[in-house]
Structure 1
């Protein structure tokens, strides 16, 4: 059929003609035109083309824009088919989903540290399931008193995580305030978005494609382990001139005796090795092991000494900053004193000293007459 005739038919509401044009334009690489013709097919009632349309729209406009489109489309419908509900789960529109949330049981009966997983799509949920299975199968990490709660599902259009290759993933973490305020966990594990995984103030942020090795690395940051490659100048200036005694980093050889005493180690257990961590702060840093570790390269092994140090940190979980303390700080910035107190009380309940002190200071503050 001549193309002009196809176009005339498609414009008149013939869905099959619009599909043929959409596929032809897609093969030609004219994705904007292809999207337009797919939309014509959908308008004509050919809902089987929705998956193809969404895949192309995601390629053109990104995950979040596609999720918003689908959310708007489904809101206009009186009913949602099983196929549409499955697509909704793929794009993190959970109120249409029928699939059960995943929960991995824990082999440890005692939890020094409890992680609350958060996902924003079916892909993130599947990846979380894989990561937790790998955790349980890992002889080192599964021996730690660490537990995972059932996943919390947040709509992608609410969490709004970034999809920027090579950049740190950022999400709208404020939407998690109600969950964080409930307590019952100490850290968030967010599996959503794409980009560079990171850990910040009680939030482990993984990509939906992050490997177990990346989870292992970011988890160690919760326990105070530092990167063993060159830190950014800003981080190096702060961390490399700090008096904190890190599990895996000494900023001066003269710290060795204090380090051994703090971690209750024998001198023969430690072999100092220079690393580049503090180069941008003009400080020569050292790690306590001679071999390449997972804090320098994700794929490297976790030294036995580091597992021992992890266990020592977890023996005093009250000293690990809970995510509720960070959220209390965010509430304070917004002058939201109700949530500040609620969150600070949750952090204090977990024994975090700074939270206890903050509550004590507010209790004795004089009030205006």
Structure 2
């Protein structure tokens, strides 16, 4: 801040002594000097120092936008000028400074800026401050946009009383589309709201049916969109979707952070009467890491179609081709039997006759039948057979099927193998779900399925020392394996029998 010459300050101060309290002399003096364009930098600085609005506005127009001085002056002007307050709020919002954005949206709202209240509401919703948004929306519920947001908030909060009031308004305004959405997702039944846990009834349409659930309308729409987006994907030949259904966030007990896997208390699903009729469940939350835990798929609202496909493939028996946790059960020791379509965890060396080693591998490699006889899968090194197709053999054969090292168990001493040297959607979401994987599904559609969600419930109940109820849900999971075509004594169904026994023994 520039300082006035000492003489000028003395003159100004002496004048102040002679002017009565409450006088508008200095603001008027500054205003006149500005109007005549004869004001000096020192006078402008003095005016700003003494909070004279005319001087602040004059200087504000000449400084660089969003410079330090601009922000200093804008914060002074924003106390009384709604447009400046709104601009400050918008800048802070874009920059991600939510505290400052909220403060200035509030200030602009108090100054009756038309858009500020809407932006503040949306910011509260965006940040999950639903009660604050609800408070601002209630006086505006006669407006359609506000009414829609209030409906979504009441659904998300599980506020039965408010939703019933809003449904009356929806009917009065003939808002059939939103009412039909509420019915479609199981949020309301005809004229009444009901808790999902007591009246939901979902009919599975196929063996590998999935019931998707979400806690708000936005995520329910997102689930519908994801299902629509994969209709042409080959996975849809092996799986089907029930209509997404609502579940109140108040019913859930979940742990989730942006960069960690979503985990929930899965005993919840035992409280649905009647139980949800599907093999698998899929729950979408606002944030958290997508993952599959046996028969339950977890997504967050930011996950796209590629993530959805990746996670669905886990339910059908595919394993990640990126490095798993060192503690992951898949990578603790070489496999005793086939467990997935695309990964085999084997010893790195075998001894004995070549034919015997190849015969042993045939029993352990799910894609063995797709490997050309001319493609080597072992080679001699000293007195041992080293497992794997060497990369140099590939040459220009990028689509070659063989036995290639996978990154799956890179954090462990055991070695994982995959059928291709190419990167697939099991390694990177954006890569292809390769044709071979579709062919493997066609060959053995049921061999490596995850157990149904009933198994998740049973396992959690056993952990909570509720053995009787746990056994009941374990039997529900076992019944899902006993389909008409599943003869567990048939040698061709060996892997189904293995899965049945793993479920029975709680080994998933």
Q: How many residues are aligned here?
A: 333
1:160-175 equivalences under 5 Å are 164-171=257-264, 173-175=266-268
**Distance change in 2, residues 1:313/1:42 (3 Å):** farther
Cα displacement string for residues 97-124 of structure 1 (whole angstroms, at most 9, x for unaligned residues): 7334369xxxxx9723111101122221
Task: Choose the corresponding residue for 2:478, options 348, 357, 361.
Answer: 348
Answer whether contact 1:115 1:186 (CA < 8 A) is retained: yes
State the distance in 1 between where 2:260 and 2:86 align. 33
Task: Choose the corresponding residue for 1:257, options 356, 362, 381.
Answer: 362
1:86 alignment counterpart: 148
What is the CA-CA distance between 1:37 and the residue it aligns to?
A: 6.8
State the distance in 2 between where 1:346 and 1:173 align. 15
1:24-63 equivalences under 5 Å are 25-27=88-90, 29=92, 31-32=98-99, 35=102, 51-57=118-124, 62-63=127-128
State the distance in 1 between where 2:315 and 2:220 align. 22
2:283 alignment counterpart: 190
TM-score (norm 2): 0.54
SS in 2 for 1:289: coil
What is the CA-CA distance between 1:185 and the residue it aligns to?
A: 0.8
What is the CA-CA distance between 1:311 and the residue it aligns to?
A: 3.2
Bigger radius of gyration among the two: 2
TM-score (norm 1): 0.72
State the distance in 2 between where 1:51 and 1:161 align. 31
Answer whether contact 1:248 1:306 (CA < 8 A) is retained: yes
1:362 alignment counterpart: none
1:147 alignment counterpart: 240
**Distance change in 2, residues 1:70/1:324 (3 Å):** farther
2:372 alignment counterpart: 268
Answer whether contact 2:259 2:288 (CA < 8 A) is retained: yes
Flag structure 2 segments of 5+ consecutive residues without an equivalent: 1-51, 55-79, 164-177, 187-203, 349-356, 374-400, 483-499
State the distance in 2 between where 1:43 and 1:341 align. 60
What is the CA-CA distance between 1:195 and the residue it aligns to?
A: 3.8
State the distance in 1 between where 2:53 and 2:253 align. 44
State the distance in 1 between where 2:332 and 2:274 align. 29
Task: Choose the corresponding residue for 1:111, options 201, 206, 215.
Answer: 206
Answer whether contact 1:21 1:37 (CA < 8 A) is retained: no
Answer whether contact 1:93 1:156 (CA < 8 A) is retained: yes
2:219 alignment counterpart: 124
Cα displacement string for residues 72-107 of structure 1 (whole angstroms, at most 9, x for unaligned residues): x49999x8865444224555346537334369xxxx
Structure 1 stretch displaced more, 208-217 or 178-187: 178-187
State the distance in 2 between where 1:251 and 1:135 align. 30
State the distance in 2 between where 1:34 and 1:297 align. 37
Answer whether contact 2:332 2:412 (CA < 8 A) is retained: no
State the distance in 1 between where 2:138 and 2:481 align. 49
1:332 alignment counterpart: 462
What is the CA-CA distance between 1:339 and the residue it aligns to?
A: 4.1
State the distance in 2 between where 1:110 and 1:127 align. 21
State the distance in 2 between where 1:75 and 1:339 align. 44
SS in 2 for 1:234: coil
SS in 2 for 1:168: strand
1:233 alignment counterpart: 326
What is the CA-CA distance between 1:131 and the residue it aligns to?
A: 1.3
State the distance in 2 between where 1:162 and 1:86 align. 29
Matched, 1:286 2:390: no
**Distance change in 2, residues 1:70/1:18 (3 Å):** farther
**Distance change in 2, residues 1:275/1:349 (3 Å):** closer
**Distance change in 2, residues 1:28/1:151 (3 Å):** closer
**Distance change in 2, residues 1:102/1:135 (3 Å):** farther
Structure 1 stretch displaced more, 281-290 or 320-329: 281-290
1:206 alignment counterpart: 299
Answer whether contact 1:225 1:248 (CA < 8 A) is retained: yes
**Distance change in 2, residues 1:244/1:213 (3 Å):** farther
Which is helix-richer, 1 or 2?
1
Matched, 1:303 2:455: no
State the Cα RMSD in Å.
Answer: 4.2
Answer whether contact 2:295 2:452 (CA < 8 A) is retained: yes
What is the CA-CA distance between 1:205 and the residue it aligns to?
A: 1.2
1:321 alignment counterpart: 451
